[in-house]
């Protein structure tokens, strides 16, 4: 079943989902961050059908998240290495890990993010690189950027108005 393409939308979340929104893709990236590089390693780890794995790896290469490199001529074999764009996805995976542990693991965490040296559990949080402040609402919000088209600007204007109304009603309520 074909899904609608988000690649031409201005929303960076929609554009990102176009590249990694299929769940196998995110799991392949997870395994790549853990050092897996070869088709058979991904297949064994994920228990994924070979045709599906081939499609997902091809899509991740085309999206620039993985690079395909030949490691054997006879027989021809390739490995899949994270690119800079792929490596930039790590904080997203860590955030998903923490969110999943918090909301969908009633039995407790099965995987933790830990300090490599001490083994102490870590709790990821997004911070603004400039100020060092935690990116929390309402202190931070999304806004139309300089390349936004008219539709995107209108959507963000409506959102800003709703946020201002909510803030005013909380002040007076």
C-alpha 134/C-alpha 81 separation (Å) is 32
The pLDDT value recorded for residue 138 is 81
The structure tokens 């390349």 sit at 147
Rg of the chain taking only CA atoms, in angstroms: 20
Full set of structural domains in the chain with CATH: 6-118 (1.10.10.10), 128-168 (no CATH)
C-alpha 134/C-alpha 171 separation (Å) is 23
The pLDDT value recorded for residue 162 is 87
173 residues of the chain, pLDDT tens digit each = 455 666 567 677 788 887 777 889 999 999 999 999 999 999 999 999 999 999 999 999 999 999 999 999 999 999 999 999 999 999 999 999 999 999 999 898 899 999 999 999 999 999 999 999 999 988 888 888 999 999 989 999 898 888 888 888 887 76
List residues bridging with 126 in a β-sheet.
none
Please give the full DSSP string across the chain, using - where no structure is assigned.
Answer: ------TTSS-HHHHHHHHH-SHHHHHHHHHHHTT--BHHHHHHHHT--HHHHHHHHHHHHHTTSEEEEEEETTTTEEEEEE-HHHHTTHHHHHHHHHHHHHHH-TT--SS--B-TTT--B-----B-TTT--B--TTTS-----TT--HHHHHHHHHHHHHHHHHHHHHHH-
Tens of pLDDT, residue by residue over 115-158, are 999 999 999 999 999 999 999 988 888 888 999 999 989 999 89
């Amino acid at each position: 079943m074909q899904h609608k393409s988000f690649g031409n939308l201005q929303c960076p979340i929609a554009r990102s989902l176009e590249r990694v929104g299929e769940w196998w893709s995110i799991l392949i990236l997870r395994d790549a961050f853990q050092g897996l590089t070869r088709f058979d390693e991904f297949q064994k780890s994920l228990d994924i059908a070979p045709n599906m794995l081939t499609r997902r790896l091809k899509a991740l290469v085309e999206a620039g998240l993985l690079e395909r490199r030949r490691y054997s001529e006879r027989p021809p074999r390739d490995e899949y290495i994270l690119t800079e764009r792929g490596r930039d996805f790590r904080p997203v995976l860590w955030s998903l890990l923490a969110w999943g542990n918090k909301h969908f693991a009633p039995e407790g965490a099965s995987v933790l993010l830990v300090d490599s040296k001490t083994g102490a559990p870590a709790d990821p949080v997004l911070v603004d690189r400039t100020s060092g402040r935690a990116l929390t609402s309402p202190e931070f919000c999304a806004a139309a950027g300089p390349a936004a088209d008219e539709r995107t600007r209108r959507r963000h204007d409506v959102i800003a108005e709703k946020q201002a109304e909510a803030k005013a009603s909380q002040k007076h309520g």
